Structure 1
Amino acid sequence: MKHVALGMGLSDYYDHGIARGIVRYAKEQPGWRLYGHGWMFSPLEDLSNWNGDGVIARIEYEEQVQSFSKLECPVVDVANAFRIPRVFNVSNDDYETGKLAGRYFSENGFTSFAYCGTSPGEWSRERLEGFKTETGFGDLPCFERPLKWWLKETYSVELALFLAKLPRPAALFTCNDKVGLRVSSICAGEGFAVPDELAILGVDNEDIPCELANPSLSSIELRLETIGAMAAARLDELMRSPGSTPRETKAVKVTPMDIIERKSSSAYASRDPLVVDVFRLIRAQDGHLRSVSDLVEELAMGRRSLETRFKQETGKTLHQSLISQKIRVASRILRTTNKTMEAVADEAGFGSTQRFFAHFRKQTGTTPADYRRAGNTM
């Protein structure tokens, strides 16, 4: 029997996703018994004196580092906040997460970028570095505070002043959804228009808080269940050969899933109000069902003039932008439902399954079926 402790509070979306992956792996193994804080596990009282076979932990705070580093059994960390001797790391690829955010905002026409994150914390620092790399801005405005500050602070004059000074329109990447929601609350209180003045993107896709925010918060979805299952597999390897060095000692990184776009970032940064209006129409609730002719009619402008101005500003045709929005809608349906490919193609506005498959593979580099399978392994 292998006795494995979960060093996490199971108090938020991140913990729940990780735990689901661990539980999934444990059920497939003979003789795993999980201990943790919560009714679904055997009770765990004092982790600092744990004498079981292994630990999977989310080590977020400096005061936790010493107690975990002293444990005699193997420890796998899923937070990537600190580099700890003898503690192995399986976590989200935070650098790639930052790059994904930078690419998203750059494609939406933004040239002013900012970051709100935590310090200390390797995961936040790596997200910032990826964001800088992708945007090409090595010295972008940053507002960083300890994680506990973000969790407890309800209003900050310092943060309000930081946001007020950003050149408009600005793309603001926040290290996670909790920070994104704090920023969104400050914007509402100060009268900063989101997303027209400040577009906000978080990380974790805590779906209920993100949907309930006003405006709803866009977020990067992580493969939390995959991280949990891979952390359990790494711990299993360590427990099978106690005292020996595993074949692979470097950190395991799991690429993020995708950006779930909601209202907080659904804007295109342009000095041409016509281009802004086009994107508002395309990204409206049924925008993906519009045609180029519909856009021309709704904007009461000649087709050639509209196409020319749009292409000059964005580098894309109206048709290409409509296809991109259809792909976003299709991706959401694939991630969140078990609808047939025919139903997905129809709901996303492609007209035919063949056309849907061709456009999806061209834009994403994978097939709809493979995309859905990848999402189901989170």
Structure 2
Amino acid sequence: MDRNAQKQYNKQAMKAKVLIILPSDKFLHRQILEGILAYGSKRGPWQFHFETGDRYEQGLGKGRRWGCTGIIAMVREAKQLAELIGTKIPAVFINPPVMKNAKGRKPPQWATFVTRDQENVGTTAAEYFLSRGYRNFAFVGTPCSEPAEWCERRLYGFRRRLLGEGLNCFSFSASSPEVASDFDKESIELIAWLKSLPPQTALYAPWDRRALQIIGLCLDAGISVPGSIAILGTDNDEVLCESVSPSLSSIALDGCTAGTLCAQLLDAHMRGLKVEPLVDLAFPRIATRQSTDEMQVPDAFLAKALALVRKDLSVTHTIAELASAVGISKRTLEMKANLILGTTLKAEIDRIRLNEAVRLISNTNMSMQSIAERCGFCCASHLNTRFKTIFGHNPSVFRYQPPK
């Protein structure tokens, strides 16, 4: 970019006036806003007008009078989406609703739809529990009489992944809309339902606040967490997750990164650059805490062998060494793994190492070489090769990038 072009670019950035329509009642939404504001401060600083969506008409009217040059919005109704698109102002829409009579899902050239694959979030929860040896599963959705679409999609992804293993899950439903809208009444039914679940059940709640309710009810009813029921939430609101005992494991959706991405896309639109019409938010990660901190393996020999592996992943054990340590033959140990885990012991050990590598990449600033050594890979290059083979991406894809 030459000097004159750079000056024009900076001038446009300074003039950016961005209307943000975003609910602020959830931790994830506040993270998204944080990412947007951080990017705008660095680029401009941009000027912002913020609306939660409760006073939508005033927000759009204000934006027009104000000379709005860009929009980032999360709206719930197709009518609102259509009106915003109709302004022809460069825009980024987060998880937009489906518009009636729309030709496909692609937005016009001045807008981008950024969507979260909600089914993938549910699938991630199922794979997490499967990897920890669970064979009994349950799901508790949002505490309302009419479940939100995102909740239903997460349940679908959760259940579909389990069905792929020949497994099913119990799903809680209140007896009536009246009960569903009154937690005092619903809690009575929930406790009875929780008590009816088989021992060692893995329960997924697609929202941290709901998961906290379930932990509280389990404690009230004398149900051990995670001994009898392991509980996983979603959003990884760290204040909430650490506010209970046992602390809550949760799927982190990295809202700050999503907000930064939305701001980058809008920036490109406002500069007249070609932008992808549809962008997916990828790679949810899981923060393991006490509420799921157990591995369910119904065989003492195999459980002991896997415990030895997990004790220090930097130590490379052969199958023969593990078998000798637990007191059975190599062949017997391998047969137990195939029968109980549905895979080879070598593949299970590799999966454990890779999962720990993903956790360290996502949650720490450790170098790839240090992570490779910690997880039992000979070097960063070997780790990189395994990631490409298993995930189809470099390890750096999983690295959390805070907004700058």
Assess same fold via TM > 0.5.
Answer: yes
Equivalent of 1:15 in 8, 29, 34: 29
Q: May I ask how many residue pairs the two structures share in their alignment?
A: 358
| Alpha carbons 2:73, 2:93 under 8 Å: kept | yes
Shift of 1:161: 1.8
Shift of 1:135: 1.7
Instruction: Measure, in 2, the Cα distance between the counterparts of 1:258 and 1:151.
Output: 32
Instruction: Please state if 1:142 is matched with 2:171.
Output: yes
Shift of 1:58: 4.5
Between 1:350-359 and 1:323-332, the stretch displaced more is: 350-359
| Alpha carbons 1:154, 1:182 under 8 Å: kept | no
Residue by residue over 1:115-152, the C-alpha shift from the partner in whole angstroms, topping out at 9 and shown as x without a partner, is: 11124312111111212222228984323689xx8998
Residue by residue over 1:70-95, the C-alpha shift from the partner in whole angstroms, topping out at 9 and shown as x without a partner, is: 77856755366x55679985332112
TM-score by length of 1: 0.74
TM-score by length of 2: 0.70
User: SS of the counterpart of 1:362?
Assistant: helix
Which residue number corresponds to residue 119 of structure 2? 95
Between 1:163-172 and 1:65-74, the stretch displaced more is: 65-74
Cα distance change, pair 289–321 in 1 and its aligned pair in 2 (3 A): farther
Alignment RMSD (CA, Å) = 4.2
Instruction: Measure, in 1, the Cα distance between the counterparts of 2:223 and 2:123.
Output: 26
User: SS of the counterpart of 2:141?
Assistant: strand
Amino acid at match of 1:34: F
Shift of 1:36: 3.5
Residue by residue over 1:257-300, the C-alpha shift from the partner in whole angstroms, topping out at 9 and shown as x without a partner, is: 333333433444444344444445545xx442453577557645
Which residue number corresponds to residue 214 of structure 1? 245
Which residue number corresponds to residue 147 of structure 2? 120
Instruction: Measure, in 2, the Cα distance between the counterparts of 1:184 and 1:109.
Output: 21
Instruction: Please state if 1:165 is matched with 2:230.
Output: no
Shift of 1:229: 3.4
Instruction: Please state if 1:189 is matched with 2:220.
Output: yes
Amino acid at match of 2:376: G
| Structure 2 counterparts to residues 243-258 of structure 1, below 5 A | 252-258=279-285
| Alpha carbons 1:79, 1:123 under 8 Å: kept | no
Instruction: Please state if 1:203 is matched with 2:248.
Output: no
| Alpha carbons 1:171, 1:200 under 8 Å: kept | yes
Between 1:230-239 and 1:262-271, the stretch displaced more is: 230-239
Instruction: Please state if 1:262 is matched with 2:289.
Output: yes
Equivalent of 1:343 in 367, 370, 383: 370
| Alpha carbons 2:372, 2:378 under 8 Å: kept | yes
Amino acid at match of 1:167: P
Cα distance change, pair 171–30 in 1 and its aligned pair in 2 (3 A): same
Shift of 1:160: 1.4
Instruction: Measure, in 1, the Cα distance between the counterparts of 2:309 and 2:215.
Output: 24
| Alpha carbons 2:112, 2:276 under 8 Å: kept | no
Name stretches of at least 5 consecutive residues in structure 1 with no aligned partner.
39-43
Name stretches of at least 5 consecutive residues in structure 2 with no aligned partner.
1-14, 101-106
Shift of 1:18: 0.6
Which residue number corresponds to residue 394 of structure 2? 367
Instruction: Please state if 1:229 is matched with 2:229.
Output: no
Structure with bigger gyration radius: 2
Instruction: Please state if 1:376 is matched with 2:392.
Output: no
Shift of 1:331: 1.9
Cα distance change, pair 35–152 in 1 and its aligned pair in 2 (3 A): farther
Between 1:100-109 and 1:29-38, the stretch displaced more is: 29-38
Amino acid at match of 1:131: F
Instruction: Measure, in 2, the Cα distance between the counterparts of 1:175 and 1:45.
Output: 24
Residue by residue over 1:45-68, the C-alpha shift from the partner in whole angstroms, topping out at 9 and shown as x without a partner, is: 9654121125534457x9xx9888
Amino acid at match of 2:58: N
Amino acid at match of 1:191: G
Which residue number corresponds to residue 41 of structure 1? none
Instruction: Measure, in 2, the Cα distance between the counterparts of 1:138 and 1:311.
Output: 17
